[in-house]
Amino acid sequence: MIRYRLAMVEAHRVLGRSLFERGPATPKKVAVVCGVLALLLLLIATAALHMGSEPVSREAVAEVLRTHLFGGAGEPTVSDTIVWRIRGPRVLLGLAAGAALAVAGVLLQALLRNPLAEPYVLGISGGAALGAIFAVLGFAELPLLRPLLAFTGAALVTALVYGLSRGRTGISTERLVLAGLILATLLWSAVALVLALVPNPHLRGLTFWMMGDLSGGGNGLLPLVLGIVFGAAAVAYAHARRLNLLMVGEEDARVLGVDVERVKTAAYLLASLLAGTIVSVAGAIGFVGLLVPHLVRMLWGSDNRLVIPAAALSGAILVVLADAVARTALAPRELPVGAVMASLGAPFFILLLRRA
């Protein structure tokens, strides 16, 4: 009994220290923080399965999951269709979108050494959207081209923003935010223009997609999207220590033996890939990459060995939660999840800008 008590006290101490301490990441701290976040994500994702315009009881959700995950004979029921065919993919897509956008934010922030960098704010999502629309217009029969062209659009805009915001003394916040704002406005106008002018049956319904929409559940691309997000996040994690040094300064990183150009290229490509992929299937969900990394750093410091996995998990939690709100707030009508995120994120962005 006493031994049990001591173990509990010790566990409490480790948990408390890891959960509420900044500073260099340690394996223990990463394990504790990510473990707690993963548990939370699991709870919220399961809860999201039974929330919606058509309520499905917890027991029914559990039954559907048990049937599909562990095998078992069962007649296809209505709850089965709702939970496994409609809500499941949607929750998974939200999870992927949140994780991807949060990690893309972390990468862009390290690359530009600016906590305000984020795919939506910098117009990168706009570039990806335009790329995705071209794919739909020109090659509707090749769904794989959609994420590919979205990635190309995202990469082009990232390069453009980087070039535009870089002055002789490095990258200034003002130039960065202005360049992003202008590009975002321009690109989203182009998207709206194409949607309004081109009478293409494939484009119908894309207005909703433009504002961030998870209802498609990936349109058959879900396994690919999950694979890309997981892979890109893993590669990003492999660069975590180098990104830590890059965040202090390019010359500083070089002095410590970092191949700065390689790390910058990796961060740039991975961020574009993550943002492009998500936009192509879920439209523009803004501010995740801004809110999440900031909160994670505020709680646990800036060490990317912790920030990257913690931001991925927290981003997933946030978007799954936001989508649950979008589905239920005005049920049976649905709101675009991007609008829900923007109403959360925009005030936060203003707050950050005032502090920068």
Binding-site ranges for other proteins (CB under 8 A)? 22-27, 109, 113-115, 238, 241-242, 244-245, 247-249, 251-252, 254-259, 297-298, 301-303, 305, 356
At closest approach, how far in Å is the CB of 297 from other proteins? Answer: 6
Give the nearer residue to other proteins in terms of CB position, either 296 or 335: 296
Give the nearer residue to other proteins in terms of CB position, either 113 or 175: 113
Buried b (16+ CB within 10 A) or exposed e, 158-176: bebbbebbeeeeebebeeb
Candidates 173, 144, 133, 123; CA nearest to 275 is 123
Longest dimension (CA), the chain: 74
At closest approach, how far in Å is the CB of 169 from other proteins? Answer: 11
At closest approach, how far in Å is the CB of 22 from other proteins? Answer: 6
3-class DSSP state for residue 166? strand
At closest approach, how far in Å is the CB of 192 from other proteins? Answer: 33
Instruction: For 80, list phi and psi in degrees, rounded to 5.
Output: -60, -50
Give the nearer residue to other proteins in terms of CB position, either 51 or 246: 246
Give the nearer residue to other proteins in terms of CB position, either 21 or 54: 21
At closest approach, how far in Å is the CB of 229 from other proteins? Answer: 21
Euclidean distance between the first and the last CA atom of the chain, given in angstroms as a whole number: 53
Please name the amino acid found at residue 70.
Answer: F
Give the nearer residue to other proteins in terms of CB position, either 67 or 302: 302
At closest approach, how far in Å is the CB of 334 from other proteins? Answer: 37
DSSP summary character for residue 334: -
Give the nearer residue to other proteins in terms of CB position, either 137 or 238: 238
* Number of Cβ within a 10 Å radius of residue 268: 18
* 278 burial level (CB within 10 Å; 0-12, 13-18, 19+): buried
